[in-house]
Structure formats: structure tokens, C-alpha cells
């Protein structure tokens, strides 16, 4: 068995692990049921990817988000590691081939949604797989008390009997005491080894500003702190308005939300990742699975629904462990609106049944049909057809998700794919008999190789057309025809939202609607809203300590970096503000240089002095360099 350190060096290029990573990995390799709680950016994926690469066999990764699956599969492939994913929208043939590759091929990681685990085809194939590790990502979804409850997580425990020899690791960034107990209990983790890194992020400074002129404060913050930023807003319209406002003030910005075409979303995301756009203004559809370590500020223009959501989103700043800022801008109406949303969290059984029956009629589904099938879905069109409001539909669908009936997915950019269905000899015979397709087929094989016979391969029709010197429309037309003849399977580009029926279509009257459960979810939403408001309105406690206490990490040490702590330290004589400002004005423009020049002061004192100077508008930070204002 290779050592974890050698695997880390070989595939990631690092010589050492971050705090707790090696201990977690060793626990997994010892065969212990392991629960890892690491903050956003703490390197959770390494904690199951490295031990899986040390062992012989397949690692199955359960995760709830398609975007997260696709990102991690892409990252693994870039490192030369074989990884695949099964998600809604794939054909039965695609799923079949993917599962076969997990049995007979060299696939090392298989990413699946929790709903996929309970399908008959998956469980039958699972018996034939050599599974070394089951990794449960976003494990807080197993708990009704978590902020993103997903009932299919409760059924994960059932597949343990198919892979009794496999190790088990559950991972999350956010879990209260109740949620941790749920994870251990509902996954039936035996004598679980629990590793919890502090929820404190020493490099991340949290601030809250209560004010009316949010946009002006946003510009002020971005002027003080250079570098990449994420700005979160609640509505699509607001993301556009804020991005436009920033551009009018000379700040490079783009808006991002699920209503954009997938190609446009991908383009904006790529430009931001590559620093061609400085600020991305987004709904919370943005950020999950995106690995950009140098985000300097995450600014919330609207209040998140819970501290779990806020901690995850703000935690996307400073993943490179350098100075970063998480800021919330709010006014009193924002907290009233948050409580109103929590109070309206509940949904009536009548609306749930009406929405479900509407879906059955909309798609003309017979009772007992369409289990685990994904269909294109446009919420505005559906709501209009059945005289419902889009917000009502969303609330009903959310509850149907929470009881494991349907799952709504945003449009995910899915590149065109191709798979040759016949053998090499049969294809040659077909080419001889159908000369007009000879050029297309030869060029497809030239571009994408023989793997087309084994797998679905992402393609670009434009590249094929250029190589053939033929119009793009002709290439697409010929691909569609060859698919109709059973020569190949062609999956054109897709970016439509989908709705997945997680169980076969039920009789509407038989829906498992529990009014007690509905009330408990509403009460939970209210409890979380109150905790969020307490965080915003507190003027007497360290913000990091508030977050730590919420996640049951009790400490009497302040962080020294949040707005409360900095305010406490402005008049402290032990902070060398005057000396630091003088050195910055003389060209000592980095923490390293300041430490060299101010050896009579501790690193913590210098860092805190810099933060106060930035907060007071006397110093500006740009790409880890400091400049006097």
C-alpha cells in the first residue's frame, strides 16, 4: 500500500497535509467509521480521495449536487485519476456503461446522488463491484435538523450490507450537536472516530454593517480590499442591478444566476476564475464546487436564511489562508423579511397535492411509471398552466423533495456526448454501404479515438465540422440520423432544468404528507432565522465566537479579526498602528516585509494592526500588498 504522503505528492504536488487531514486519512485506512467536520476550504475531498488511492478498489462518493459531482470528477481527471458520475438526465444506456466500467474497468471514483443508491440496477451492479470506501459528502443532509435535509440520505445505511468490507467516511463543513448525532446514528457508524477542526478561520475577518446605502458601502469595501470578490444577492433581478451599479463605478463585474443559459453561466464563471472579471454578483446558485482559493471578499447584500448557509458562503473567501473578509450589509427590513420567509416556510397539504397532480397531468404520467426519470421543467410555464404562483410551486416542490418524491435540478451545462454502439467491424461494413457518412465517421474516430466504443465521450460538433470542412448544421443532422439508425448514441448539448421523479408516479391521495413534519420544518426554519438575526444584531460578542457557539464549539478566546474585535483594539497601545502605517508608506507592502521590519512585535499584533488600518480606510489591500490611502 502506498503511503498517504506519497499519494499526496504524486497527484496533488504537496509535501504535507493540512491540519487533521492525515489523522482522518489514517483513521479511514485503519478501517474505522470516520466523521470529518472541516470548514469550507479545509480540504474535505482529500480526506477520502487520498485513502481511496492508497487502497485497492472503487470509492463510491455520495453527494447531493450535480455541480459538485461534475467539478470533482473534472478535477480528478485533470490529475490523471479515473472518475465518473451518475446524475439525473443520463440515459439508461449511459448509466449501464458507467456501472460496467466500475465493475470491469479502471474507474477509481464513482459519484452518485443518494437517490441513485436505492435503484434496482445500481444495487444489482453494486454486488459485483470491489468497493473499498463509501464516502458520504455533505453528510448534514441526513438530518432533519440540518439546513438542507435530503430524505434519501436516510436510506444510505441500507447499502452498507452490499459492501460490508468497505470503509466508511462521512464529511461536512457545518453540523450542530444534533446534526452530528444524527449523522452517526442514522449511518449506524460503529464506534465512530470523530474529527472536528475548529470552526474559527484565523485569516477570515467577519463584519456586519447595518445601514441604508448598501451599494455605496459595497463600493467602499471593494475600493479598500482589492482582488477577487463574490457578492451575494437574493434575486436574479438584484444581481443584475448590483453588477450594473459596480460597472458604473469602474469595477469589473458580472452577474450570475440560474436563469442564464448554461453556456453564458459557464463563460462568466470561467472569466471570473481566470481573473478576467473581478466581481461575480450572484444568487446562492454560485460557488458550490468551485475551487478558487484567492477570493479576498465575500459580501452579502441580502441576509442568508441560516448561519449554516452564511458560514458555507462566507467561507469561500480566503481558502488560500491569506487575509480575507466576509461581510454582511443589512437594514432592519432585511431581518423582518427573513422572519417572514421563515414564518411562511410551511405549505398546505392541499397545495402539495395540487402541485403533484399538476405534474402528473403536465407530463401525462400513468400511476406506477417514471421512477428515477428526469424530464425538462420550466417552472413559470408549469405555474401558468395550472393557475399557480411560481413561489407556491417552489414551496410545494421543496416539500416533495423533503419527503423524497421529486427533485428539481437547475439547468446544468452538459456538453454534447457520443458513443458508438456497434463493433469496429460492423462500423466498417456500415461505412462501405453508406459512403456519404464515411467522412464523418472517420473524422470522429480521428478526433476522439477508440474509446468511443467503450464510453460516452464529450465532443464538440464545431471541431468535427472544421475538420471535415462542412457546415455545422450538416454535421449535427448526420449525427442525429446515425443515432436513429442505431450506429451511435448522440446526446446534443443540454442546459435545461429538470425535474426527477424519485419514485414511480403515485396516486395523489397516497402522498405521505405528515402535518407534524411540515410544522417541524417550519419551526426549524424559524429557529435558524432567529440565530441569523442574533448574529447580525450582536454588538457585544466576537462574531467568530458566535459562529463557533452555534456549532457547539465553546471557547473563551476572541478571534481578534472580526469587526467587534477590531473595534475593541483600536485604542490598544500594544497594537503598532502608527509604526505599521509608517512602514507601509515607506514601501514595506507585505506581511512578510512588515514582520522583518517590526521584529519587536508579534505577528498577531502586526496582522491585527493591518486589519484595523484597512477597516479605518487608511490602508488599501491589493493582491496581498498594502498601500496607504
Whether the pLDDT of residue 287 is over 90: the answer is: no
| Cα(579)–Cα(569) distance, integer angstroms | 15
**All residues at 6 or more sequence positions from 22 whose CB lies less than 8 Å from its CB, including other chains:** 4, 5
Cell numbers 491569506 label which residue?
Answer: 322
For the residues 261-285, what does the mean pLDDT come to?
89
Query: For 345-378, how does the pLDDT look when each residue is reduced to its tens digit (9 = 90+)?
Result: 778 999 999 999 999 999 999 999 877 777 888 8
Q: Hey, is 391 helix, strand or coil?
A: helix
What single DSSP character describes residue 494? B
For residue 414, the model assigns a pLDDT of 63
- What's the average model confidence in pLDDT over 369-388? 87
Per residue in 190-204, pLDDT tens? 899 999 999 999 999
Query: Would you state the pLDDT for residue 230?
Result: 97
Task: Determine phi and psi for 481, rounding to 5 degrees.
Answer: -65, -45
pLDDT value at position 346?
A: 77
CA distance 60 to 337: 41
**Could you tell me the pTM of the whole model?**
0.77
Mean pLDDT of the region 200-211: 94
**CA distances for 35 relative to 53, 136, 175, 180, 551, angstroms:** 19, 9, 11, 9, 15
pLDDT band at 289 (very low <50, low <70, confident <90, very high): low
State yes or no: pLDDT of 142 exceeds 90: yes
- Whether 566 and 612 have beta carbons less than 8 Å apart is answered as yes
| Mean pLDDT, residues 329-348 taken together | 91
Of residues 572 and 208, more confidently modeled: 208
Q: Of 253-267, 434-448, 463-477, give the lowest mean pLDDT range.
A: 253-267
Torsion sign, CA atoms 377, 381, 387, 391:
positive
List, in sequence order, every residue forming a beta bridge with 35; answer none if it has no partner.
170, 194
Longest dimension (CA), the chain: 89
* Portion of the chain with pLDDT greater than 70, in percent: 97
Cell matching residue 341? 420567509
Please report the pLDDT score of residue 494 as a whole number: 65
Residue matched to cell numbers 478535477: 75
| Residue 112 backbone zone (phi > 0: left; psi -120 to 50: alpha; other: beta) | beta
Cell numbers that stand for 78 in this block: 485533470
Question: What local confidence, expressed as pLDDT, does residue 78 receive?
Answer: 92
- What CA–CA distances, in Å, run from 62 to 51, 87, 116? 16, 11, 9
Question: Once rounded to an integer, what is the mean pLDDT over residues 271-285?
Answer: 92
Q: In this model, does residue 451 exceed pLDDT 60?
A: yes
Which whole number is the average pLDDT over 446-453?
90
Res. 588: pLDDT tops 70 = yes
> What pLDDT is recorded for position 427?
93
DSSP 538: -
Average pLDDT across the chain, whole number: 90
**Which cell numbers hold the place of 357?**
397532480
pLDDT 10s digits, 413-445: 567 889 999 999 999 999 999 999 999 999 999
Q: What is the pLDDT of residues 1-58, one digit of tens each?
A: 899 999 999 999 999 999 899 999 999 999 999 999 998 777 899 999 999 999 999 9
Show the CA angle centred on residue 26, arms to residues 22 and 29, nearest 5°: 140
The mean pLDDT of 103-131, rounded to a whole number, is 92
Average pLDDT over residues 498-514: 91
- Which among 132, 111, 97 is positioned nearest to 45, based on CA atoms? 111
Q: Which residues contact 503 (CB under 8 A, 6 or more apart)?
A: 371, 404, 405
Q: Which residue has the cell 476564475?
A: 273
pLDDT at 40: 78
**E strand or H helix at 327:** strand 324-330
Angle in degrees, CA 462, 466, 469, rounded to 5 = 130
The angle subtended at Cα 494 by Cα 262 and Cα 461, nearest 5°, is: 100
Measured distance CA(554)–CA(119) in Å, rounded: 42
Please tell me which residue, 479 or 258, carries the higher pLDDT value.
479
Rounded Cα distance between 383 and 504, Å, is 22
Amino acid at each position: 500500500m502506498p503511503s498517504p504522503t506519497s499519494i499526496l505528492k504524486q497527484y496533488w504536488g504537496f509535501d504535507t497535509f493540512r491540519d487533521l487531514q492525515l489523522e482522518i486519512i489514517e483513521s479511514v485506512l485503519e478501517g474505522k467509521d470516520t466523521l470529518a467536520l472541516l470548514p469550507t476550504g479545509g480540504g474535505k475531498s482529500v480526506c477520502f480521495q487520498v485513502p481511496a488511492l492508497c487502497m485497492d478498489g472503487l470509492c463510491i462518493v455520495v453527494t447531493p449536487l450535480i455541480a459538485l459531482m461534475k467539478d470533482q470528477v473534472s478535477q480528478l481527471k485533470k490529475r490523471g485519476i479515473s472518475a465518473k458520475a451518475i446524475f439525473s438526465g443520463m440515459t439508461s444506456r449511459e448509466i449501464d456503461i458507467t456501472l460496467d466500467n466500475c465493475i470491469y474497468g479502471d474507474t477509481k471514483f464513482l459519484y452518485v446522488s443518494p437517490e441513485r443508491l436505492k435503484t434496482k440496477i445500481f444495487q444489482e451492479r453494486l454486488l459485483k463491484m470491489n468497493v473499498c470506501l463509501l464516502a458520504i459528502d455533505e453528510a448534514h443532509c441526513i438530518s432533519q435538523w440540518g439546513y438542507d435535509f435530503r430524505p434519501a440520505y436516510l436510506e444510505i445505511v441500507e447499502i452498507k450490507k452490499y459492501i460490508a468490507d468497505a470503509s466508511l467516511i462521512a464529511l461536512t463543513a457545518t453540523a450542530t450537536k444534533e446534526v452530528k448525532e444524527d449523522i452517526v446514528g442514522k449511518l449506524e457508524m460503529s464506534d465512530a472516530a470523530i474529527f472536528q477542526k475548529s470552526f474559527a478561520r484565523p485569516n477570515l475577518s467577519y463584519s456586519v454593517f447595518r445601514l441604508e446605502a448598501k451599494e455605496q458601502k459595497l463600493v467602499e469595501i471593494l475600493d479598500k480590499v482589492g482582488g477577487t470578490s463574490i457578492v451575494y444577492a437574493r434575486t436574479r433581478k438584484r444581481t443584475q442591478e448590483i453588477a450594473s451599479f459596480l460597472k458604473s463605478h469602474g469595477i469589473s463585474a458580472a452577474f450570475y444566476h440560474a436563469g442564464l443559459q448554461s453556456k453564458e453561466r459557464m463563460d462568466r464563471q470561467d472569466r471570473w476564475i481566470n481573473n478576467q472579471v473581478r466581481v461575480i454578483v450572484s444568487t446562492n446558485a454560485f460557488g458550490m464546487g468551485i475551487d478558487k482559493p484567492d477570493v479576498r471578499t465575500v459580501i452579502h447584500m441580502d441576509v442568508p436564511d441560516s448561519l449554516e448557509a452564511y458560514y458555507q458562503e462566507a467561507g469561500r473567501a480566503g481558502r488560500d489562508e491569506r487575509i480575507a473578509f466576509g461581510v454582511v450589509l443589512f437594514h432592519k427590513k432585511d431581518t423582518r423579511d427573513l422572519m417572514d420567509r421563515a414564518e411562511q416556510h410551511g405549505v398546505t397539504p392541499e397545495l402539495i397535492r395540487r402541485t403533484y397532480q399538476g405534474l402528473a397531468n403536465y407530463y401525462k404520467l400513468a400511476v406506477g411509471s417514471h421512477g428515477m426519470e428526469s424530464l425538462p421543467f420550466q417552472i413559470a410555464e408549469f405555474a401558468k398552466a395550472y393557475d399557480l404562483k411560481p413561489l407556491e410551486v417552489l414551496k410545494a416542490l421543496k416539500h416533495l423533495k423533503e419527503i423524497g418524491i421529486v427533485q428539481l435540478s437547475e439547468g446544468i451545462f452538459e456538453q454534447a456526448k457520443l458513443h458508438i454502439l456497434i463493433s469496429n467491424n460492423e462500423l466498417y461494413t456500415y461505412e462501405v454501404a453508406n459512403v456519404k457518412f464515411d467522412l464523418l465517421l472517420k473524422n470522429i474516430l480521428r478526433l476522439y479515438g477508440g474509446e468511443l466504443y467503450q464510453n460516452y465521450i464529450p465532443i464538440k460538433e464545431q471541431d468535427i465540422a472544421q475538420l471535415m470542412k462542412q457546415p455545422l448544421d450538416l454535421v449535427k443532422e448526420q449525427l442525429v440520423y446515425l443515432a436513429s439508425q442505431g450506429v451511435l448514441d448522440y446526446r446534443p448539448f443540454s442546459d435545461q432544468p429538470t425535474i426527477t421523479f424519485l419514485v414511480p408516479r403515485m396516486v395523489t391521495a397516497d402522498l405521505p404528507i405528515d402535518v407534524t413534519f411540515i410544522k417541524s420544518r417550519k419551526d426549524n426554519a424559524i429557529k435558524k432565522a432567529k440565530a441569523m438575526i442574533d448574529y447580525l444584531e450582536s454588538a457585544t460578542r466576537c462574531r467568530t465566537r458566535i459562529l463557533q457557539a452555534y456549532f457547539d464549539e465553546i471557547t473563551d478566546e476572541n478571534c481578534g479579526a472580526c469587526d467587534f474585535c477590531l473595534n475593541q483594539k483600536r485604542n490598544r497601545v500594544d497594537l503598532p498602528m502608527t509604526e505599521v502605517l509608517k512602514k507601509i508608506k515607506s514601501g514595506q507592502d507585505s506581511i512578510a516585509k512588515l514582520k522583518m521590519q517590526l521584529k519587536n512585535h508579534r505577528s498577531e499584533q502586526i496582522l491585527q494592526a493591518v486589519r484595523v488600518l484597512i477597516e479605518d480606510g487608511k490602508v488599501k489591500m491589493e493582491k496581498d500588498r498594502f498601500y496607504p490611502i
